[in-house]
């Protein structure tokens, strides 16, 4: 279908049903003028149709008044996409004034023609060959009559999602959102009725819309089998969406763990216990959603995600360069979507591990895999908590006494979303593309990091790399080694070889973060299991660089900062896990680092996360106790590092240049890292300096 002013794409659906995700996907296409709540269509309908009821009113309406009003609803002051659309509207209206278009519309009184032209031109202004345009705004469902009158060929995409996921998300979002929670309270029945009402309105309205101009997309199909679902959407829109590399990069990061997510949230009991009215049950049946309290779902027809058989275990072997992974996302090996979480196996070994000093002798007895560099990332580990407790932290103490240590300056802001990409690119956030100063975290994905990564440089030099539980990263193409995704990345993006080793593995605690003993135990057990599976991984797939990241220090810092015993025990656990990790491989060099540190929340009026505990309105105030600080930790020990008794400061952006130098890899001149590899860190450089002196 030709992209015309009469045929916008309108995105609809109950809030929290995936409309924002679908809008981001369509907007990723370089020839799509599509956004999320950009507001031009909505505001033009309200402004011109509401005020221009006669030719005289139309003629006397000044465009500067429209711009002033549009600016106040978020155009000029909102996020970057809204500022861009405001600038487009201003430019288009100026053109209309110059070429006489406004005068002609005023003479004819054709308000609808002005709305169509203004919306189309503003959305497609900078697109040489627009293929589609439109906007996502759930409340458009209340203006379908006006949209149909102004845009007679409009096409509609309606998203629906399992009611339990929508209810939990609505409940949490509305009762914790700043500015919302202080004045309004929503119980679970309100959220249930909103899901019913939104879908009922659509079911009634769609009867008056040509079936060729509407499509319904289950959220479960969108995140479960994204490519197949987008093929169906492409056919509906008559637009080759999947030909866009940008769009493909975006959908490669979709995490199907969002399906049935309500079960792992603190409000799961309220969701399952919410009364099921007749209207609710009828709507569930109409949309083919099961009603079992386990949160199962049914997606009709071919949109069901296929079951994947667990991959057979592989014998120990080095990882060759694997073939490119399939475009279709795979389930975590050994788990089916919609099933209860896999039970935890018993702890693999006792927590108390031998110190690294025994590592070399035991290595010869037990034939440990060898690695040239071992990197242990401890998200949020704090310098003063670690260095002041060294007397009892035997494994950290041994590494520090034989190497170099100090504080590691993070990036600005010191947020994990910015910091970890700086760790594996050597660049500041404003250069690697994942900058929380510029965009909201939830609007970014790993696909935004469009610069070479550490593993790109090393693989090109023939050096194999292994990253386990790595935040904000996953394998997008063939590589010499593997990446097992961690936080903020889809666990499904693993090669078949690695999936076979990690059957039953999970990257995250099974309950939401909170200041409770249950969550503390769950976080500890998650990191123990992470190390257990990493030990299997390095045995079966040894690499030259072996990296593992743990998250206990970050979560405990956020939720237990005011509990000295929780901090004490957590750092003791991490010390023992470091010993286990060191005892699992024979490493020439070791680096331990954290992306930032933690501190107490000092500012008054701490932001509270309010959770309604019952439909009767009983509320508790649940707050984070700690937040990020600029400095993390750095420890380096091994044959290549020059020991130093004094603390030596380093920067997070130095680590990629440091690791490349350890492997003797000279990056291309185009790399232009923001960090560097200081000479004082290296034993060979120290010898050279001594000779020179």
Q: What is the DSSP secondary-structure string of 462-503?
A: T--EEEEEETT----S--SEEEEE-TTS-TT---HHHHHHTT
Task: Report pLDDT for 59.
Answer: 54
Q: Is the dihedral of CA 389, 392, 397, 401 positive or negative?
A: positive
Position 239 scores a pLDDT of: 94
For 161: left if phi > 0, alpha if psi spans -120 to 50, otherwise beta; the answer is: beta
Residues 49-57: contacts with CB under 8 Å, at least 24 apart: 49/111, 49/112, 49/115, 49/146, 49/150, 52/109, 52/111, 54/109, 55/106, 55/107, 55/109
Q: Please name the helix (run of DSSP H) or strand (run of DSSP E) that holds residue 179, with its range, or none.
A: none
Which of 4-18, 31-45, 517-531, 580-594 is predicted least confidently?
Answer: 31-45
Confidence of residue 536 (pLDDT cuts 50, 70, 90): very high
Mean pLDDT, residues 320-343 taken together:
33
pLDDT at 381: 96
Q: Where is pLDDT greater, at 620 or 481?
A: 481
pLDDT over threshold 60, residue 625: yes
Question: What is the reported pLDDT for 658?
Answer: 96
pLDDT band per the 50, 70, 90 thresholds, residue 361? very low
Q: Is 481 left (phi over 0), alpha (psi -120 to 50) or beta?
A: left
d(CA 467, CA 373): 12
Q: CB-based contacts of 108: which residues, under 8 Å, 6+ apart?
A: none
Q: What does DSSP assign to residue 641?
A: B
**Helix, coil or strand: residue 691:** helix
Mean pLDDT of 560-582: 94
Span 318-346, average pLDDT: 34
Nearest CA to 612 among 270, 164, 262, 148? 270
DSSP state of 353: -
Mean pLDDT score, 496-510: 80
Contact in structure between 49 and 115 (CB atoms under 8 Å): yes
**Rounded Cα distance, 221 and 227, in Å:** 9
Residue spans per domain, the chain: 9-264, 366-462+503-602+617-692
DSSP state of 108: H
Whether the predicted pLDDT of 302 surpasses 60:
no
Q: What percent of the chain has pLDDT over 90?
A: 41
Q: Is the pLDDT of residue 473 over 50?
A: yes
Q: Summarize the confidence of residues 113-139 as an average pLDDT.
A: 91
DSSP assignment, residue 538? H
Q: Would the pLDDT of 180 be above 90?
A: no
Instruction: Using the predicted structure, report yes or no on whether residue 621 has a pLDDT greater than 50.
Output: no
Counting every residue written for the chain, the total comes to 693
CATH topology of domain 9-264: Rossmann fold (3.40.50)
What is the rounded distance in angstroms from the CA atom of residue 90 to the CA atom of residue 109? 22
The CATH homologous superfamily of the domain defined by 366-462+503-602+617-692:
Alkaline Phosphatase, subunit A (3.40.720.10)
Residue 686's CB is within 10 A of a number of other CB atoms, namely 16
Binning pLDDT at 50, 70 and 90, where does residue 540 land?
Answer: very high
Query: Which residue in the block uniquely carries the two structure tokens 């319904």?
Result: 216
Mean pLDDT of the chain: 77
Contacts of 122 (CB under 8 A, 6+ apart): 40, 85, 88, 89, 92
- Per-residue confidence at 155, pLDDT binned at 50, 70, 90? very high
Sole residue written with tokens 């990723």: 28
- pLDDT band at residue 358 using 50, 70 and 90 as cut-offs: very low
pLDDT of residue 633: 95
Q: Is the pLDDT of residue 294 over 50?
A: no
Confidence of residue 372 (pLDDT cuts 50, 70, 90): very high
pTM of the model: 0.52
The string over 407-417, giving b where at least 16 C-beta atoms fall within 10 Å of a residue's C-beta and e elsewhere, is bbbbbeebbbb
Closest CA to 624 of 176, 165, 175, 169: 176
Q: Which two tokens stand for residue 318?
A: 């080095």
**pLDDT score at 346:** 36
Torsion angle of the four alpha carbons 312, 313, 318, 321, in this order, in degrees rounded to the nearest 10: 30
The tokens describing 351, both together, are 């927590």
| pLDDT level of residue 446 (50, 70, 90 thresholds) | low
More confident residue, 70 or 330: 70
For the residues of 433-468, what is the DSSP string, one character each? S--TTTS-GGG--GGG--S--HHHHHHHTT--EEEE
Q: Average of pLDDT values for 528-545?
A: 93
What are the φ/ψ torsions at residue 279 (nearest 5 degrees)?
Answer: -60, -40
Which residues make beta-bridge pairs with 592? Answer: 376, 635
pLDDT at 1: 61
Model confidence at 77, pLDDT cuts 50, 70, 90, reads very low
């Amino acid at each position: 279908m030709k992209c015309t002013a009469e045929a916008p794409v309108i995105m609809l659906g109950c809030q929290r049903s995936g409309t924002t995700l679908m809008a981001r996907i369509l907007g990723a296409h370089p020839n799509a003028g599509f956004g999320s709540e950009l507001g031009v269509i909505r505001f033009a309908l309200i402004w011109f149709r509401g005020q221009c009821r006669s030719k005289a009113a139309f003629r006397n309406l000044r465009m500067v008044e429209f711009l002033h009003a549009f600016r106040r609803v978020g155009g000029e002051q909102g996020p970057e996409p809204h500022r861009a659309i405001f600038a487009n509207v201003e430019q288009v209206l100026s053109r209309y004034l110059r070429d006489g278009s406004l005068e002609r519309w005023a003479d004819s009184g054709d308000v609808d023609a002005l709305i169509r032209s203004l919306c189309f031109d503003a959305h497609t202004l900078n697109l040489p060959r627009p293929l589609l345009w439109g906007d996502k705004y759930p409340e458009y469902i209340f203006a379908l009559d006006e949209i149909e009158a102004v845009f007679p060929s409009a096409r509609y995409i309606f998203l629906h999602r399992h009611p339990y996921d929508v209810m939990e998300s609505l409940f949490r979002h509305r009762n914790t959102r700043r500015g919302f929670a202080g004045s309004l309270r929503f119980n679970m029945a309100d959220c249930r009725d909103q899901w019913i009402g939104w879908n009922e309105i659509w079911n009634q309205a769609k009867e008056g819309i040509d079936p060729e101009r509407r499509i319904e997309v289950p959220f479960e199909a969108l995140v479960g089998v994204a490519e197949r679902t987008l093929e169906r959407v492409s056919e509906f829109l008559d637009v080759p969406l999947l030909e866009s590399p940008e769009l493909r990069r975006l959908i490669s990061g979709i995490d199907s763990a969002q399906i049935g997510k309500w079960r792992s949230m603190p409000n799961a009991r309220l969701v399952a216990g919410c009364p099921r009215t007749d209207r609710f049950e009828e709507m569930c049946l109409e949309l083919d959603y099961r009603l079992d309290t386990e949160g199962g779902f049914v997606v009709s027809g071919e949109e069901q995600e296929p079951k994947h058989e667990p991959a057979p275990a592989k014998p120990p072997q080095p990882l060759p360069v694997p073939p490119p992974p399939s475009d279709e996302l795979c389930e975590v090996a050994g788990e089916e979507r919609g099933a209860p979480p896999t039970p935890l196996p018993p702890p693999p070994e006792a927590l108390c591990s031998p110190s690294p000093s025994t590592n070399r002798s035991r290595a010869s007895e037990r034939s440990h895999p060898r690695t040239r560099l071992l990197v242990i990332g401890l998200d949020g580990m704090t310098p003063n908590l670690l260095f002041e407790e060294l007397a009892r932290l035997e494994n950290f103490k041994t590494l520090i006494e034989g190497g170099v240590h100090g504080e590691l300056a993070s990036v600005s802001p010191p947020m994990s979303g910015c910091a970890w990409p700086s760790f594996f690119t050597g660049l500041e956030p404003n250069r690697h593309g994942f900058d929380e100063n510029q965009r909201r975290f939830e609007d970014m994905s790993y696909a935004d990091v469009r610069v070479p990564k550490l593993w790109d440089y090393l693989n090109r030099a023939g050096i194999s790399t292994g990253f386990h539980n790595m935040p904000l990263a996953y394998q997008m193409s063939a590589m010499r080694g593997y990446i097992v995704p961690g936080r903020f990345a889809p666990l499904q993006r693993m090669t078949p070889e690695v999936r076979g080793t990690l059957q039953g593995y999970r990257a995250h605690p099974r309950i939401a973060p909170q200041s409770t003993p249950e969550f503390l135990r769950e976080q500890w057990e998650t990191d123990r299991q992470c190390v257990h599976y990493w030990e299997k991984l390095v045995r079966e797939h040894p690499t030259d660089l072996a990296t593992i990241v743990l998250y206990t220090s970050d979560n405990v810092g956020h939720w237990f900062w005011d509990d000295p015993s929780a901090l004490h025990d957590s750092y003791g656990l991490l010390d023992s896990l470091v010993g286990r990790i060191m005892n699992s491989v024979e490493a020439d060099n070791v680096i331990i680092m954290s992306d930032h540190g933690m501190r107490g929340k000092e500012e008054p009026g701490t932001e509270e996360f309010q959770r309604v505990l019952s439909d009767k309105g009983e509320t508790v105030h649940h707050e984070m106790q700690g937040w990020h600080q600029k400095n993390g930790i750095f420890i380096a020990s091994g044959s290549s590092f020059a020991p130093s008794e004094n603390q030596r400061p380093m920067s997070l952006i130095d680590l990629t240049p440091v690791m490349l130098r350890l492997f003797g890899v000279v990056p291309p001149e185009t790399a232009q890292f923001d960090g560097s590899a200081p000479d004082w860190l290296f034993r060979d450089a120290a010898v050279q300096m001594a000779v020179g002196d």
